[in-house]
Chains A and B, each alone.
Chain A
């Protein structure tokens, strides 16, 4: 069984700023770490690998060369091989253009029984890339999986955890799954596996290594137009401090609420 986990590298901090000209996330100068939810996806793949003899786990990412660091971390957790899709032509991609290149690479890797995603990337937060890839590959998808098991030779059962409901879904393999952090606790890479990960295969594919329609790539292939990104102004509220004994404070509160005709 072959599992491909798609991972993204995100800025380490939560204070990402927005480029005033392009309205894109300004990622310059920020140290990158693996998107936390993607570690849950890797852990799921490794759990399956631990429980069966025939599981091969590959990692796939599209991004600049330093995304190899996250691939290496995933290899140190226990994945078998990594693929980096890196080319100037891919830069500026939105979720659609990202999903397109990932799907083309997945076709080239071939025969994946399960393609795993994190529920969303913590920097742009759309959660769209997994579903887009599923559409490109014409495969069933289960998003927001909080538990998952192989329920037959060619079938997977997952519980989707949504805001106010749970759903249990069964999908035929090959399938695309995006996972929630409730699914598991990702393992730490051990010091030894960190060393050994540097002997594992890590393949970089550039533009010419993939079968691509150039009009679908990068900024040009991205229909998303970000017109404005802003942090809402915090609403300033009036604060009245009630002094005195608890009984005095309570009667002041009642007077104030009555004054506003709230009670």
Chain B
């Protein structure tokens, strides 16, 4: 069970709920329609200190731990999943710099993570599930590295200012470097026109002969695979939290509607077919919540959490799509209409069967972990 929340954590979640209700939820539908955050939205989130939520206090952040960080994203996602996913992309990247960066690199970069968004870039046209398929390279020249390549489908690509990039330092050797949008040779490419999480920008970054010092190498040469896996693990906990939030949103829409809508002279709540759907949504939501909370708790306690994190996302993403489908069916014609948020909740949830490792890849990881026990 999750650890009891401290007074500070309680106050944080109270603030998050207040902020979500007043600043985020009202933008949920407009964001989906516009395919972007409204002007000033990210600046306000930044000014309110959300970017530093889990950043240690020594770097100017708030230093909240993994459990309450996941809970905060869960609460935000009840109002809007895109906002939560943008923060997820930022937090998982900070996590890798905290785990693998040298003290000097942390000192250089992390204080700016309070007002600059960070992103983690692995995917390329030639390699998503298979990292060895990537073509980006880093070549050593004296005491510098020269980076070349093209990364696509990067969460916060175009919005973020600092990027961890997975590159090959030898034909079968993966490494991660940190680059800054201000570096010569760095540019943004195309932004994806995705069907869900439409507030979150997902886009391309191009590295054309970017020169970085050796101190911008994360971990050691050849650590790329390990760091990439670790980024996935951290992201998957937070995505479990986001998926739980989406299902809580579904549940609220489904129950509110069922209480109001009449089938003949009874409300929908009197029908067994509605009971079945609402109970299923509630069980899926609760199971996913337990999974992400368990993974977050293991992480907070310094225990391995990779398998549980994969479960939270692999399980949560599938059932969140199903929960949206059941909610849509309760609302029927209205559920199928773009005037109601249900249809975009399905599209939002669907992204998480792909992003941060496909459900197929996660099932392999879970099964492999079981074989190795």
Q: Are B11 and A72 closer than 8 Å at their CB atoms?
A: yes
A255 to chain B, nearest CB (A): 33
Task: Tell me if A73 counts as interface (CB < 8 A to partner B).
Answer: yes
Q: Are A192 and B52 closer than 8 Å at their CB atoms?
A: yes
Q: Are A192 and B15 closer than 8 Å at their CB atoms?
A: no
Which of A33, A69, A192, A197 has the most CB atoms of chain B within a 10 A radius of its CB?
Answer: A192
Q: How far is the CA of A194 from the CA of B53 in the complex (A)?
A: 10
Q: Are B62 and A192 closer than 8 Å at their CB atoms?
A: yes
Stretch at the interface among A125-133, A173-181, A183-191: A183-191
**B48 nearest in chain A by CB position:** A188
**Set of chain A residues within 8 Å of B49, measured between Cβ atoms:** 190-193
**Set of chain B residues within 8 Å of A72, measured between Cβ atoms:** 7, 11
Q: Are A194 and B18 closer than 8 Å at their CB atoms?
A: no
Q: Are A191 and B62 closer than 8 Å at their CB atoms?
A: yes
Task: Tell me if B50 counts as interface (CB < 8 A to partner A).
Answer: yes
Q: Are A73 and B11 closer than 8 Å at their CB atoms?
A: yes
Q: Are B52 and A191 closer than 8 Å at their CB atoms?
A: yes
Task: Tell me if A76 counts as interface (CB < 8 A to partner B).
Answer: yes
Q: How far is the CA of A237 from the CA of B19 in the complex (A)?
A: 41
Task: Tell me if A195 counts as interface (CB < 8 A to partner B).
Answer: yes
Q: Are A191 and B53 closer than 8 Å at their CB atoms?
A: yes
* 8 Å CB interface, B14-62 against A: 14-15, 18-19, 48-50, 52-53, 57, 60-62
**A77 nearest in chain B by CB position:** B15
A41 to chain B, nearest CB (A): 18
Q: Are A188 and B15 closer than 8 Å at their CB atoms?
A: yes
Q: How far is the CA of A33 from the CA of B52 in the complex (A)?
A: 25
Q: How far is the CA of A194 from the CA of B6 in the complex (A)?
A: 12
* 8 Å CB interface, A188-245 against B: 188-195, 197-198
**B68 nearest in chain A by CB position:** A191
Contact A195 to B57, CB < 8 A, known contacts A188-B15, A190-B49: yes
Q: Are B7 and A69 closer than 8 Å at their CB atoms?
A: yes
Q: How far is the CA of A197 from the CA of B57 in the complex (A)?
A: 13
**Set of chain B residues within 8 Å of A191, measured between Cβ atoms:** 12, 15, 49-50, 52-53, 61-62, 64
**A192 nearest in chain B by CB position:** B62
**Set of chain B residues within 8 Å of A194, measured between Cβ atoms:** 8, 11-12, 15, 62
Q: How far is the CA of A179 from the CA of B14 in the complex (A)?
A: 24
**Set of chain A residues within 8 Å of B10, measured between Cβ atoms:** 69
Q: How far is the CA of A177 from the CA of B53 in the complex (A)?
A: 35
Q: Are B7 and A192 closer than 8 Å at their CB atoms?
A: no
Q: Are B57 and A192 closer than 8 Å at their CB atoms?
A: yes
A69 to chain B, nearest CB (A): 7
Which of A69, A72, A188 has the most CB atoms of chain B within a 10 A radius of its CB?
Answer: A188
Within 8 Å by CB of A198, from B7, B48, B52, B64, lies B7
Which of B10, B11, B62 has the most CB atoms of chain A within a 10 A radius of its CB?
Answer: B11
Tell me the interface secondary structure of chain A in the complex: helix
**Set of chain B residues within 8 Å of A190, measured between Cβ atoms:** 48-49, 52, 62
A193 to chain B, nearest CB (A): 7
**A188 nearest in chain B by CB position:** B48
A109 to chain B, nearest CB (A): 24
Task: Tell me if B184 counts as interface (CB < 8 A to partner A).
Answer: no
How many of chain A's residues have a CB under 8 angstroms from any CB in B? 15
**Set of chain A residues within 8 Å of B57, measured between Cβ atoms:** 192, 195
Q: How far is the CA of A239 from the CA of B7 in the complex (A)?
A: 52
Q: Are B60 and A195 closer than 8 Å at their CB atoms?
A: no
**B18 nearest in chain A by CB position:** A188
**A12 nearest in chain B by CB position:** B14
* 8 Å CB interface, A104-151 against B: none
Which of B12, B52, B60 has the most CB atoms of chain A within a 10 A radius of its CB?
Answer: B12
A71 to chain B, nearest CB (A): 11
**Set of chain B residues within 8 Å of A69, measured between Cβ atoms:** 7, 10-11
B238 to chain A, nearest CB (A): 16
Task: Tell me if B185 counts as interface (CB < 8 A to partner A).
Answer: no
B180 to chain A, nearest CB (A): 23
**B47 nearest in chain A by CB position:** A190
Q: How far is the CA of A69 from the CA of B14 in the complex (A)?
A: 11
**Set of chain A residues within 8 Å of B62, measured between Cβ atoms:** 190-192, 194-195
Which of A69, A76, A191, A195 has the most CB atoms of chain B within a 10 A radius of its CB?
Answer: A191
Q: How far is the CA of A194 from the CA of B50 in the complex (A)?
A: 12
B18 to chain A, nearest CB (A): 7
**Set of chain B residues within 8 Å of A192, measured between Cβ atoms:** 49, 52, 57, 60-63
B70 to chain A, nearest CB (A): 14
**Set of chain A residues within 8 Å of B60, measured between Cβ atoms:** 192
- 1/0 contact trace for A42-84 toward B, CB 8 Å? 0000000000000000000000000001001100100000000
A209 to chain B, nearest CB (A): 23
Q: Are B64 and A195 closer than 8 Å at their CB atoms?
A: yes
Q: Are B15 and A195 closer than 8 Å at their CB atoms?
A: no
Q: How far is the CA of A194 from the CA of B14 in the complex (A)?
A: 11
Q: How far is the CA of A69 from the CA of B63 in the complex (A)?
A: 20
Q: How far is the CA of A72 from the CA of B14 in the complex (A)?
A: 12
Q: How far is the CA of A189 from the CA of B62 in the complex (A)?
A: 11
**Set of chain A residues within 8 Å of B63, measured between Cβ atoms:** 192, 195
Within 8 Å by CB of A76, from B11, B18, B19, lies B11
**Set of chain B residues within 8 Å of A33, measured between Cβ atoms:** 14
Residues of A within 8 A of B (CB): 33, 69, 72-73, 76, 188-195, 197-198
Q: List 14 A-B contacts (CB under 8 A).
A: A69-B10, A72-B7, A76-B15, A190-B49, A191-B53, A192-B52, A192-B57, A192-B62, A194-B8, A194-B12, A194-B62, A195-B8, A197-B8, A198-B8
7 A-B pairs besides A69-B7, A191-B12, A191-B49 with CB distance below 8 A are A69-B11, A73-B11, A189-B15, A191-B50, A191-B52, A191-B53, A195-B62
Nearest 5 CB-CB pairings of A with B:
A190-B49, A191-B62, A192-B62, A191-B53, A191-B49
